[in-house]
Structure 1
Amino acid sequence: MSAETIYIFALAAVLLALSPGPDILFVFTQSLVSGARVGVWVTFGLGTGLIFHSAMVALGVAAVIKTSPILFTAITWLGAAYLLWLAWQSWRSPVSVGGCESIDTGWWPLYRRGIVMNISNPKVAIFFLAFLPQFTQPDGWPIAVQVMVLGLTFIICGFAVFISVAFAAGWLNKRFVTPTRLRILNRCAAIVFVAMALRLVLV
């Protein structure tokens, strides 16, 4: 693969990561509610999920999902159900006495949340299936290798953007969020999760 192709793809990946979407909104709301550390671990989880989707495209699994309405619908509804569960958790989430973070801020639940959030959205795999092959070169490396390289490039670019968003939202959390406002933010995050679930199944 040529360096020029990688540069163009990286620029496109950054612009896509910056565009409003469920992943960046997810990182922002989690960081605003619970601090930058939460957003960082969620970002690691989302990145791991993107590795999964890249592998699916490279192996041809995403094409199978695209041509199987039943499988696509089943995964979509599982993803929506998970988002609704997150909405319920956010709505009833208590506020710690000593600060403005939710109680459940262990790294593993946050990392797992990002992974499940990403891999339970089959539309990400379909997007990768449509987007990544446009930058492959028939006379270059094996297509599966090129897809994985492009997928990892996309992940690195998205990671840089999302980490920046996490720290920006974490800065807001430290300076403007009080326990009372945090309770309101938890309710708003729940509404966002419900909206994301509806978008997943309806759009």
Structure 2
Amino acid sequence: MIDVLAISWSGILLAYGVFIMGMFSPGPNILSIIGTSMSVGRNEGRSLALGIASGSLLWGLLAWAGLTTVLVTYASFMAVIKFVGAIYLLWLAFKSFRSAASARQINVKALALPGNGLAYFRRGLLIQMTNPKAALTWTATVSLGLATDAPWWVGGIIVAGTTVISLAGHLTYALAFSTQPVIRTFFAARCWIETGLGVFFCVASYKLATSRL
């Protein structure tokens, strides 16, 4: 087990890196947390973040189960999955570079919901589970650490680690974006952040396309 983990560790770390970088690229989930924390309140943003993180766990489990089934049944099909994942990462790189070159401001949307934190938790879960980007991101992330000879628990390590990252990252957004200094700093540095994301996604795409099956 230790030898297999040592061999798979570079792919696992790359998967973690892609997931972390993806959290810096604002999508519907991140923008809803930012907007809610800024305009409604920290507690509401935190409940929304917990719902989104729970959705991330569900997507991770689905991707893990699906890719493991593919490896067991149709090992040769993994090449197609990795190719699609590499193309998707290139698309994320393109979007990051385009966003960095654009002077357009990011539009955030606050969610004003009736009821307590449970309503925001449910909305966060719904946002994440109906986000098509989440499905593609999880497929690309999990496939980074999997090979045809990888044991089933390698995917479990990826899902467990990225779930912790998702929980910590989304809660950080909820807490940080309830303060004006962080908001101003983030948007001032957005160009550099998006450029760095574009470079990282290009590297990850190359790694995935050239990784062993």
Change (3 A) 1:17 1:123: closer
State the AA in 1 paired with 2:140.
A
- Matching residue of 1:16: 22
Distance 2:27 2:131 in 1: 13
- The structure-2 alpha-carbon separation of the partners of 1:164 and 1:123, relative to structure 1 and needing over 3 Å to count, comes to closer
Conservation of the 8 A alpha-carbon contact between 1:43 and 1:114:
yes
Gaps of 5+ in 2: 71-108, 182-213
The one of 59, 63, 69 equivalent to 1:57 is 63
In the TM superposition, residue 105 of structure 1 has moved relative to its aligned partner by 5.3
Instruction: Tell me by how many angstroms 1:4 deviates.
Output: 4.1
> Which of 134, 139, 146 in structure 1 is aligned with 2:149?
139
Q: Deviations over 1:131-182 (max 9, x none)?
A: 311212443321xx33333123222223222222211222239xxxxxxxxx
| SS of match in other structure, 2:179 | helix
Whole-angstrom distance in 2 between the partners of 1:153 and 1:123? 19
Distance 1:129 1:11, change over 3 A: closer
Partner of 1:164: 172
Question: Is 1:151 equivalent to 2:159 in the alignment?
Answer: yes
Matched, 1:44 2:54: no
CA shift at 1:58, angstroms? 2.4
TM-score normalized by the length of structure 1: 0.56
Deviation by residue 1:62-120 (Cα, 9 ceiling, x = unmatched)? x9xxxxxxxxxxxxxxxxxxxxxxx8x95xx5xxxxxxxx7x35121011111111112
Structure 1, 31-40 or 157-166: larger mean CA deviation:
157-166
Deviation of 1:44 (Å) = 0.9
Written as runs of structure 1 = structure 2, the 5 A alignment for 1:125-136 is: 125-136=135-146
CA contact (8 A) 1:36 1:171 kept: no
- Partner of residue 181, structure 1: none
Provide the C-alpha distance between the structure 2 equivalents of 1:165 and 1:121, rounded to a whole number of angstroms: 18
> Which amino acid in the other structure matches residue 35 of structure 2?
T
Q: Is the Cα contact below 8 Å between 1:18 and 1:161 reproduced in 2?
A: no
What is the aligned length?
135
Runs of at least 5 residues in structure 1 that lack an aligned partner in the other structure: 64-86, 94-101, 174-203
- Aligned residue in 2 for 1:193: none
1:115 aligns with 2:125: yes
Q: State the 1:46 CA deviation.
A: 0.7
RMSD (Å), alpha carbons? 2.8
The secondary structure found in structure 1 opposite 2:177 is helix
Distance 1:5 1:126 in 2: 18
Structure 1: how far apart are the matches of 2:64 and 2:13?
21
User: Which of 8, 17, 41 is equivalent to 1:35?
Assistant: 41
Aligned-residue offset at 1:35:
1.5
Partner of 1:184: none
